[in-house]
Structures are given as C-alpha cells and as structure tokens.
Amino acid sequence: MKYCKLREDIVASSIVMGCMRIADKPLTQTEAVIIEALKSGVNMFDLADVYADGDAERVFGVAIRDLELPRKEYLVQTKCGIRKENGRINRFDFSKEHIMTSVDDSLRRLNMEYIDVLLLHRPDALVETEEVAEAFERLRAAGKVRAFGVSNFSAGQMQLFEAAGLEIVANQMQFSLGHTAPVDAGFNVNMYKEESVTRAGDSLEYCRANGIAMQAWSPLQYGFFHGTFIGCPAFPGLNAELSRLAEKYNCAPSAIAIAWILRHPAFKQVVTGTSTPEHMSELIAAADIELTREEWYALYMSTGRVLP
C-alpha cells in the first residue's frame, strides 16, 4: 500500500474504502470488507451525511464498534453541505449553523468523538467564507474535526476559501477512464474542440501547485452513475487494453483502471465503491502497480479520445 500526507499528522492510504452503499448490505458483509481493507493497508474510510440519509454513517459506526478497532488505527472522512427535502436534493448549505449541526449529527451516528477529515460536499453559490472559517475554527478547537477539504471544487472556488484563511487538504472529484474530463482540457488548450472545455476548472493544476490531495470518486464508472465500464460492451477498445495490461501485471482489469488514476501526479487517492471483500482485494492491488507513460496514454486513447 502507498500512502500520502494530507497533513504532516494525517497519513492516509492511496486506496480509500468508500462507504456510500453499505447501508443496504448485511452488517457482517460490511465488517468483512473493512477487515479486508485494513489487512491490506487501507486506513481511510469515506462517508457523507447524505449517504442513505445518514444510515451509511450509522452502519459504519456499528461495524467499527463490533470490530473493536482502536480509533487511532483508521481515518474517517465524511462530508456535509447537501440538503434534502422529501428525499430529493433541493439546496446546498455552507452556513455556519448547518456545518456545526451536521458534524454533531455525523459524530452521533458514527458514535465517535472526532472526524479526521470533513469535506464540503459540492459548492454552495451563497457561501459566506467568513462563516465557514468560523465554523471550522470552532470545530477544530472543540476537537471534533482535525482537517478540512472540499468535493467537486474548481480552482477559483478553492482560492476563495483559502483567501479566507481556510486550509484545504483534499478535493474529491469524479475521475476515471470513463470520465476523463479533468485531463481532457489540458490536452486541448486553445482549440475549438469539445474537449477544450475546462469542466474541472483547473482543479488538477491548482491542487498540484498548492499541495492539495486530489481524491477520485466513481473510479470504475462512466457518466453520472451510469454504471461500470469494466466489461461493458460500449467500451470494447478500453476493455481490450485493460485485459492486456491485467495479464501483464497479473491482476484484475479493475486494478489497472485504479492504477491509471493513481499514475496521475495530482490524484493521491482513489475512493472505491465496492461492498465485497473479494472485489476490495482486487482493487487494492492497484496500489502496487506503476504504469508506464506509454501504458497510461494507451489506456486514455483506448477510450476513444484523440490527442491533438
């Protein structure tokens, strides 16, 4: 397993166990996945207050309690800022009151005294950065949150926060061989092409320049939760290349897809979405695979992308 420093005192695994879908799985299965992850060196778990309307945090808290794991042996990351009404997202909320209340609710569901990393979940157009700064300072002073980050933020949005004195340690963004938007624009600067549109808002470059760890979510998905591209007939060229490299590196094609993300200098972590020990074991193998430059570009172009 490889590790990165989100901060000097927070050393996290490059593979992060995503817990969005654990709420509807048998508790014993979730516990088995956690055990498999920890056994292989994974020490970070990703959640959010809106995952299963809070039940994902609750189930994770029960699993950790049952496994009797010492709190200092793992890192918990959760998110806040998305509000729902009647089961549907209807606004984003970075108000001081909502952030403070969300953290208290998450801690109660997790049955923990502190969260290692709190991410603001999708940008709030009405954000007042001074309010966020005050909320963060109170949470830090109370020992409830150790570090802070964002999810799906552009460079400009991160700059706005940092101008208010906020330290951002991570930015979680969708990135995979089925969703290459974060790198497409970089290849097509100043061109009249669809790929020239900067959908990621220069996040990769800003994070690299400022020591902010990029985390990839939906690493095996294409579109917005359309499904996995592994074995999907819509991606014949990509799957052929994944299979070729999987044979070379003696691993599963999914591990190659994860290794492709980690080969990019900006992406220090990948958040998995698996809920079985067997698949978790397959994905963890990616941390020990170092793709060559030629292999990385071959995979990129196997998706149908064309370099200028």
Domains of the chain are 11-228+268-289 (3.20.20.100)
Q: How far apart are CA 230 and CA 64, in angstroms?
A: 31
Tell me if 21 sits within 8 A of 50, measured CB to CB.
no
d(CA 226, CA 44): 26
**Taking Cα atoms as reference points, which of 139, 152, 147 lies closest to residue 81?**
152
Q: For position 225, what pLDDT does the model report?
A: 75
What's residue 274's pLDDT? 86
Mean of all residue pLDDT scores within the chain: 95
Rg (CA), the chain: 19
Q: Is the confidence at residue 307, as pLDDT, over 80?
A: yes
Per-residue pLDDT at 308 exceeds 90? yes
Q: Between 259 and 197, whose confidence is greater?
A: 259
Tally of CA atoms within 13 A in the half-sphere of 231 that contains its CB: 4
Closest listed residue to residue 117, CA positions, set 199, 12, 208, 36: 12
**Cα–Cα nearest to 57, from 126, 106, 8, 118:** 106
Rounded average pLDDT over 168-188: 95
In the prediction, which pLDDT does 88 show? Answer: 86
Cα angle for residues 214, 215, 219 (degrees, 5° grid): 130
Give the closest residue to 271 by CA, choosing from 1, 2, 17, 6.
Answer: 17
Judge whether residue 226 has pLDDT over 90: no
Handedness of CA 174, 281, 54, 141 (dihedral sign): negative
HSE at residue 51, side-chain half, CA atoms within 13 A, is: 23
CA distance 145 to 285: 31
- Burial state string for 261-277 with b = 16 or more CB within 10 A and e = fewer than 16: bbbbebbbbbbbbbbeb
Span 238-254, average pLDDT: 98
Q: What are phi and psi of 79, to 5 degrees?
A: -135, 160
Kindly state the average pLDDT of the residues 285-308.
Answer: 96
Tokens of 255: 């591990």
pLDDT number for residue 108: 98
Range with the lowest mean pLDDT among 1-15, 95-109, 220-234?
Answer: 220-234
Which residues does 119 contact at the CB level (< 8 Å), separation at least 6? 48, 77, 78, 79, 80, 148, 149, 150, 151, 170, 172
Helix axes 293-302 and 236-249, enclosed angle (nearest 10): 150
Does residue 10 have a pLDDT over 90? yes
